[in-house]
Structure 1
Amino acid sequence: MPEPSRIARLRISLDDTAPVIWRTVEVPLSASLKLLHEVIQAAMPFQDYHLFQFREGAVRYAIPDPHWPDGNTRSAKTTKLGALIDRGTTAFAYTYDFGDNWQHTITVEEVGPADPEVAYPRFLDGERRAPPEDVGGTMGFEEFLEAVTKPRHRERKRMLDWYGGPFDPGVIDQETIEAAMAKLARRRAIGQAAFAKSRSQGA
């Protein structure tokens, strides 16, 4: 079966959170790791302000810095998700924001044929709201939750003002997640159509 017609169901778990913050998504095997990064950003959602990397064993996948060559870093733009999965990878790591250091475990739950009626990538399920950007990592997030979930906490108003509104840790922002995922799916469809057109014109 050709690679573009296969999809992977992935579970994205944010490490060191209890209860665990997690999402399940479906992503084509033909997607680059850069696109998978964008899928994770949409699924949490984060704001994509910071650097990221994937890690599989000793190999790091990121956006290489031409000024700082690193023999262990491969390009996330040119590495396909299918390249990892087809060599037997069942789990790998993703880190976003090297300051707050949000470490995630990506688990491959299933690989199968794509549904031709479905636009990929797509969001399937998840639990709990992701941390706000720049909250200060796991410890900062714990302090933030302590403040915003206790009505009499002395830092509650300041934290909510900083965040910009109410924060319910038990409720994910599904509407925002699905809108961001649909945007990625549309962009991918436009790219595929343009590629198919260029191939037919060159034939």
Structure 2
Amino acid sequence: MPRQIFQLKISLAGVRPPVWRRVLVPGGYTLDRLHRVVQHAMGWRDCHLHSFEIEGRQYGEPDPDGELALRDELDVRLDAVLGKGSRFHYTYDFGDWWEHDLVVEDACAADPDERYPSCLDGERACPPEDVGGPAGYQALLAALVDPTHPGHREARDRVGDRFDPAAFDAGRAGTLLRRLC
């Protein structure tokens, strides 16, 4: 029987214009591997805590102090908790609180000539780390596009000259996914 592949759409909540990715991942992946897929597809650097919420249950890295009631993401396969049409959430950076809405758009048999995971499509660059969540990112974007904005120089210094909020390269994201996940 061929491996099952899930087509997921990952959308960053609370950000306009929308930032999203469409990826293909094996259904046999555990949630910790999906975490790495989300990180590399979106463009995050994996420097903060994260969690998944699926049907009201929280999953992530177990908290050694027991303060966070998270089920161990290493123990949960996607195909055991998700199916076509499933919707769930991924939160990254509990300070900035980046929420991602995920939907399983399709489930199909793996193509034996394809390597997984892969990135099919997406739009817009991922926000920089530690920018203050969706509100901070909106403020950064406003300062970047207006050279007369009092925070323009600081915003440009923060992200550098190469940051383009409209840019996204699905091919590059796919290469990172295959190399790092």
Shorter-chain TM range is over 0.9
TM-score by structure 1 length?
0.83
Picking from 56, 63, 67, the partner of 2:54 is: 56
TM-score by structure 2 length?
0.92
- Give structure 1 stretches of 5+ with no counterpart: 186-203
| Structural mapping, 1:164-175, within 5 Å | 164-174=160-170
Query: Does the 8 A contact of 1:95 with 1:101 survive in 2?
Result: yes
Partner of 1:198: none
Residue 52 of structure 2: SS of its match in structure 1? strand
Higher normalized contact order (CA 8 Å, seq sep 6+, divided by chain length): 2
Query: Does the 8 A contact of 1:9 with 1:109 survive in 2?
Result: yes
Q: Deviating runs (4+, > 3 A) in structure 1? A: 173-176
**1:118 and 2:118 aligned:** no
Partner of 2:10: 12
Deviations 1:74-102 (A, max 9, x none): 1111211111125x761001000000000
Alignment size in residue pairs: 181
Query: Does the 8 A contact of 1:11 with 1:107 survive in 2?
Result: yes
Query: Does the 8 A contact of 2:120 with 2:170 survive in 1?
Result: no
Partner of 1:154: 150
Q: Which moved more, 1:152-161 or 1:119-128?
A: 152-161
Deviations 1:132-179 (A, max 9, x none): 000001110011000111233232221121123332221114454233
As a proportion of its length, which structure holds more helix?
1
Larger radius of gyration: 1
Q: 1:154 to 1:166 in 2, by over 3 A?
A: farther
**1:108 and 2:104 aligned:** yes
Q: Give the alignment's Cα RMSD to 1 decimal.
A: 1.8
**1:74 and 2:83 aligned:** no
Residue 20 of structure 1: SS of its match in structure 2? coil
